[in-house]
Structure 1
Amino acid sequence: MGSSGKPFICNLAAKMDYLAYLEDEEIYVNLAGYYGYLETAYYASQDLRAEGKDIHPTCMEILDGAVVPVFLEKARLAGLKVPEHYVTNGYFEPPVIVDSINPFMTRQSIVLKNGHQERVAKSMTRNFTYAICCQEVPPESKIGNFRMVLGWTTQEKYLDLAQQVWQIFRIPVANIRIITLPDESVLVSAMRSIPFQRLTARELRYVESKVQWPI
């Protein structure tokens, strides 16, 4: 990052409300990484969209990436491999990854063996009130993740997948949960945006090489 350093680029980004121009794609990007409803970043995307600017993520893209069953369906329709999954508000059969679907929490639980279903379901559904998304974990598979920044990642083996996820979902900085099968093929499982301040020095250097801050 040269002489600027991480504090400098983080402070500069904050002054610009994390809004930048991505020259390669001629679009604006909202790099805040936290787009909760009623938060400034959510409305920044909404306002720029209303002004006619091609800003990403849009409010719809924010929701598509955050709501796990919507993420899975959008990924599947775009040609990515995803796990078998279903939505329930109670019973599920291990081994599964359980994700909450309600406006009050964002949680996951990996349940690999029988015996804990009722406790997990009760907690994740808020006493069986809200739905949960359950993804089936294939035998001998591994659950992992990689970090994606504007379609790039430090993990070379996921570079193509990172670019695909970026083009489909348009979330600039995100942690991508994956399931790797015994044959090394990969299923995309979920994504969570990463707050800009939590980017590593290497990731910030990449951002700095790709964007212009004054918009």
Structure 2
Amino acid sequence: MLLLFITEHKIQLSIDLIFELLSKNLKIKSVDRIIHLIIHHTELLLLIQIFESAIEVVDEQTLRQVCITPFGIYDNNIHSSDQFYTLLLKENFFYQLPSGETEIKDDFKLTCSDDPFLENCLMNLIEMIVNSKIMNSCTNINHLLFICSRICQNILNLLQYGVNNLEKLRSFCSLIRCISSSVIDNDNALSVLQQTFNYDFECIF
């Protein structure tokens, strides 16, 4: 069923990555979760298109490490990321810890998401994009703006996910537009953007 959906919509992501993204909800059986998403196929297509867009600026392996790895069951030890959100399951509740956080607090409890794991993946995807490493590997500022804008729009169209750091990506898109409109040459505009991030300007996001 999932393979048919992927083939029908000519999706470029690997089936392994898609399955990982759609099945890592410890409260719901993988098959039930995938069936639910396929029934709500518009939402499923938007989700896949978001991650499909991301692989135009980062490889699948990095995407997997950033989005899927920061997730686990609480075992009295917290191994949080220094850059990304960490999702933990404790006593049947999901907690989303900001980067560098080493303590579970009630404020971190995720209660409004259709799928806390995918919510965390989407937010980490944004953190990954708004990062100097992505900037330094970029070769075309207009293409980067196109990808980021498409991801923003698809996230806005999702009905079941809050993605509380979306404004960070929208601000990033505004910054790129500002630089692009001020500097005509693509190479110079890209250089300005990269220099901005190399001077730790990313901290404002």
Query: Which of the two has greater helix per residue?
Result: 2
- Which one has the bigger strand percentage? 1
TM-score by length of 1: 0.28
Structure number with higher relative contact order (C-alpha < 8 Å, ≥ 6 residues apart): 1
**What's the TM-score once normalised by structure 2's chain length?**
0.29
